[in-house]
Amino acid sequence: MFNRIWKEHVFPDCWKHAFIIPIPKPGKDPQDPLNYRPIALTSCMCKLFERIVNVRLVHILEKNEYISPFQSGFRKSRSTIDNLISLETDIRVAFLKRNHLVSIFFDIYKAYDRTWRYGIMKNLYDLGFRGHLPIFVQNFLKQRFFRVRLGNTFSNIFCQEEGVPQGCVLSVTLFVLAINPILSVIPQTVQKNLYVDDLHISCYARNMQLIERQLQTAINNIVEWSNKSGFTISAQKTIGIHFCKRPLHPDPELFLSGVPIRFQDNYKFLGIVFDKRLTFLPHIASLRKRCLRSLNILRTLSNTSWGADRSCLLRVYRSIIRSMIDYGSVVYGSARPSYLKRLDYVHHQALRLCLGAFRTSPIPSLYAEAFEPSLSSRRDKLSLSYYFRILSNDKHPLRGTLLNGNNNRLFNARPSCIPHFGLRMRNILPDTFHGVKVHTTDFCGHPPWMENSISYINPFGNFTKSDSNNSVLISLFNQHRQFYQSYQPVFTDGSKSLNHVGCAFFTNGHIISYKLHSFTSVFSSEITAVYFALKYIDEHEIRKSILYTDSMSLLESLRSSSTRNPLIKEVKDFYRHLLSKGARILFSWVPSHVGITGNELADKSAKSATEFLTRPIVYADVRSAVNQWCHCQWQEKWNMETNNKLHVIKPVLSYWVTKLNRRCDVVLTRLRIGHTRLTHKYLLFAESPPTCSHCGDILTVKHILTDCVAVDRHRLRYFCSSSFDLSFLLGQIPHFNLFMYLKDIGVFHDI
């Protein structure tokens, strides 16, 4: 059916109808029809066909670089953070050079609904598209109808005369095509960024008149282009900011279609509030207010007697509150530490609610018990991950900025100036990461219309390693080899231990092994072994071969057509190269450590490889190394908390699963942390510490559980001993009689 629609240039009428469900915009007057967002419901069959077409169209657009690199919307490995970091970097450099920077944030009036359809078709034609695709797009766009649904009530049917259809997969790509030329009319001396329809331009210089001339020229060009392309720039909603640290400087005079552009002290751009001095204080204040409001959800769910369990509450916190804090943290994380600490209160309060911890609980204990790092540590992790993600994309517009060290000396000479993102990352980058080269990823990948999967053989059928005897598996493998005896076997393997990563392959009596960078994962080492085995096959002109690996995940990745791992792409490209030369290559899975000679030799060689192979590291492996480094930094700080009560019980940071009801979980948490209502309530009322009614000692958790001689008989009854440490009772798996003991001595409900 899809092929007939494509070739016969028809489009089903029922696919052109949409049901619109209006969703009110938060904080807006619901009586005004303009304050609603339209959610369009369209045909699922049409969406499926659109997705097929869209994947192919996007591949051609990206492969031929038809879309401007300054457009970040709806593109792989791009996000709003790209535009935010670009703006923040320009402002930091302008402040460093004591320049003015003026930014203009444009608002395109009803951009989606007023997109000129003829302009889309013209852009497709100008890019060289002919034949079925432009005709399909034309049929897709014309004669679109919709009706509004409110409950069970439907409006009349209306025709959408212009614009791209709401709720369609193909619409976003067509809109990007329609607005893409706007970036080409902006002068090279003006910085520009575009996220879908959110256009921003900026210019910095010491002379304000120069800035005015440059920006006014760009604004005039944008207005002229919009008049020709059918878009309308809203002069009332277009805002400017004059970024400058010098006092008493007038704002520039700029005009949009004869209307003066309004300048403000701050503006919310892509979710981040930028103020004219770039302190990010207005953004942090707004973010804190929103997070505190969302904390009420946790307060409702976290009653210490009947509330939700800890893991559920932590998931709610991470998805609703922490996600707001995380967004843009790589940008606003450059604010003063005293400003950023205002968000720490939200983090700590949320952890107390999730854990049910007492209000006086130490902050490091909250982090360790919830296995949730500090916001500072999380910002470092997110920032470093984003830094290396940019380096993995050789077409990213920020890549040159991050690698460019032109202003480094000037920043070092002026420590009062906050460095830009790239320099901040280099300052916190650990020594082990210096010199690491990240493997660039081709996000276009293979053409989606080409067969891109590699099948493999499983000679063992339903026999599994765990349920079968080794002799049975070896026998099955020998039968398999008899059937494929004309194929030369090549055994590959990868290995990773604490201080060693290696790969190797064995064939025809030859063993070749390499030592890899410590950041390399087992998966990457397995792929590397396969890649060099294929190179060996090519160099020795082996006509028929079969590669054996014990990594099922590797074989599944080769069979998949959607993986974006650059090493997998290398293997597939080289595999097709060998096929084009007439070679016949098969892949097969073998179980590890069952006595198959070739696999055992490859495994042993990978573990003992000494020849170091210098290769770029894929982004996924670098990101894992960043996560591990951040965890080690946290562990080092935790190791210094020798006087912390929880440190005695939990010296190694890890996630401890609890399967208790809410009340018991709260009691266990407070006992582990060492702060309970019974022992630490006095801190809230400025009283003296409580003492034991039996022996007069200071009342502590340790005294209640292990020291007080008055309850020794209860300990013997429930724990079969009166001498033990706290980790015996409160460890990862708490003692099963702990709560019975607390109830028996009458303190369970006082904790």
Rounded Cα distance, 78 and 56, in Å:
19
Q: Name the domain boundary from 378, 400, 433.
A: 433
The answer to the question of residue 324 being in a domain is yes
Helices 566-580 & 522-539, crossing angle to 10 degrees? Answer: 20
Rounded Cα distance, 185 and 192, in Å:
11
Cβ-proximal residues to 240 (8 Å cutoff; 6+ apart), any chain: 102, 103, 104, 105, 251, 252, 254, 261, 262, 263, 264
- pLDDT of residue 137 exceeding 80, the answer is yes
288/334 same-domain check: yes
- pLDDT of residue 9 exceeding 90, the answer is no
SS3 (DSSP) at 205: strand
- Quote the radius of gyration of the chain (alpha carbons, Å): 32
- pLDDT of residue 658 exceeding 90, the answer is no
Rounded Cα distance, 676 and 661, in Å:
18
289/255 same-domain check: no
pLDDT given for residue 466 in this prediction: 77
383: DSSP letter: H
pLDDT given for residue 160 in this prediction: 87
- pLDDT of residue 723 exceeding 80, the answer is no
Instruction: Please name which of 334, 355, 347, 240 lies closest in space to residue 646, comparing C-alpha atoms.
Output: 355
The answer to the question of residue 439 being in a domain is no
Category of 307 on φ-ψ map: left (φ > 0), alpha (ψ -120 to 50) or beta = beta
527/558 same-domain check: yes
Do the strands 239-243 and 262-263 form a parallel or antiparallel pair, or are they unpaired?
parallel
In percent, the amount of the chain with pLDDT more than 70 equals 100
Place of tokens 């460019």: 404
pLDDT given for residue 34 in this prediction: 81
| Extended beta strands in 106-167, E state | 144-150, 153-154, 158-160
- pLDDT of residue 469 exceeding 90, the answer is no
75: DSSP letter: -
- pLDDT of residue 675 exceeding 90, the answer is yes
The answer to the question of residue 659 being in a domain is no
Instruction: Please name which of 105, 102, 64, 100 lies closest in space to residue 83, comparing C-alpha atoms.
Output: 105
In percent, the amount of the chain with pLDDT more than 90 equals 72
H-state helical runs in 522-583: 522-539, 552-559, 566-580
555/480 same-domain check: yes
117/48 same-domain check: yes
Q: How many helices and strands, by DSSP H and E, does the chain display? A: 30, 19
SS3 (DSSP) at 462: coil
Q: Give per-residue pLDDT as tens, 265-307.
A: 999 999 999 999 999 999 999 999 999 999 999 999 999 999 9
Q: Give per-residue pLDDT as tens, 602-626.
A: 999 999 998 898 899 999 999 999 9
pTM: 0.93
Structure tokens at 530: 């396969």
- pLDDT of residue 412 exceeding 90, the answer is no
CB distance 472 to 423 below 8 Å: no
Cβ-proximal residues to 366 (8 Å cutoff; 6+ apart), any chain: 348, 351, 352, 355, 357, 372, 673
H-state helical runs in 29-116: 44-63, 80-96
- pLDDT of residue 161 exceeding 90, the answer is no
User: Distance of CA 41 to CAs 17, 21, 53, 692, Å?
Assistant: 9, 8, 19, 68
Cβ-proximal residues to 640 (8 Å cutoff; 6+ apart), any chain: none
CB distance 362 to 675 below 8 Å: yes
The answer to the question of residue 442 being in a domain is no
Adjacent-strand bridge partners of 495? 502
Cβ-proximal residues to 381 (8 Å cutoff; 6+ apart), any chain: 373, 626, 627, 630
- pLDDT of residue 425 exceeding 80, the answer is yes
Give the burial string for 199-220 (b: 16+ CB within 10 Å, else e): bbbbbbbeebeebbebbbbbbe
Q: Give per-residue pLDDT as tens, 341-388.
A: 999 999 999 999 999 999 999 999 999 999 999 999 999 999 999 999
CATH at 549:
3.30.420.10
pLDDT given for residue 411 in this prediction: 84
403/322 same-domain check: yes
Q: Name the domain boundary from 250, 275, 300.
A: 275
Q: Report the pLDDT averaged over residues 238-242.
A: 95
The answer to the question of residue 652 being in a domain is no
Q: Report the pLDDT averaged over residues 1-28.
A: 88
CB distance 93 to 257 below 8 Å: no
Rounded Cα distance, 126 and 112, in Å:
21
pLDDT given for residue 152 in this prediction: 86
User: Distance of CA 523 to CAs 430, 520, 555, Å?
Assistant: 24, 8, 11
Do the strands 255-256 and 259-260 form a parallel or antiparallel pair, or are they unpaired?
antiparallel
Q: Give per-residue pLDDT as tens, 519-543.
A: 999 999 999 999 999 999 999 999 9
DSSP 3-state helix, strand, coil percentages of the chain (rounded to 5)?
50, 15, 35
- Burial class for 69, CB neighbours closer than 10 Å (0-12, 13-18, 19+): middle
pLDDT given for residue 329 in this prediction: 96
Rounded Cα distance, 297 and 320, in Å:
9
The answer to the question of residue 649 being in a domain is no
Q: Name the domain boundary from 433, 465, 485.
A: 433
Q: Give per-residue pLDDT as tens, 42-73.
A: 999 999 999 999 999 999 999 999 999 999 99
383/262 same-domain check: no
58/107 same-domain check: yes
pLDDT given for residue 638 in this prediction: 96
CB distance 475 to 573 below 8 Å: no
210/307 same-domain check: no
13/114 same-domain check: yes
Cβ-proximal residues to 207 (8 Å cutoff; 6+ apart), any chain: none
Rounded Cα distance, 368 and 646, in Å:
8
The answer to the question of residue 641 being in a domain is no
Instruction: Please name which of 748, 691, 676 lies closest in space to residue 718, comparing C-alpha atoms.
Output: 748
The domain containing residue 347 runs over which residues?
281-433
Domain count for the chain, please give it.
4
Poorest-pLDDT segment among 351-360, 455-464, 475-484? 455-464
- pLDDT of residue 260 exceeding 90, the answer is yes
Cβ-proximal residues to 496 (8 Å cutoff; 6+ apart), any chain: 520, 521, 522, 525
CB distance 234 to 209 below 8 Å: no
Q: What is the mean pLDDT of the chain?
A: 92
pLDDT given for residue 499 in this prediction: 85
Rounded Cα distance, 631 and 627, in Å:
6
Instruction: Please name which of 571, 603, 597 lies closest in space to residue 481, comparing C-alpha atoms.
Output: 597
Instruction: Please name which of 387, 384, 401, 416 lies closest in space to residue 245, comparing C-alpha atoms.
Output: 416
Structure tokens at 440: 């660039």
The answer to the question of residue 651 being in a domain is no
Instruction: Please name which of 635, 646, 668 lies closest in space to residue 739, comparing C-alpha atoms.
Output: 668
371/288 same-domain check: yes
Rounded Cα distance, 497 and 703, in Å:
43
137/176 same-domain check: yes
User: Distance of CA 421 to CAs 71, 376, 659, Å?
Assistant: 20, 15, 43
Distance separating the N- and C-terminal Cα atoms of the chain: 68
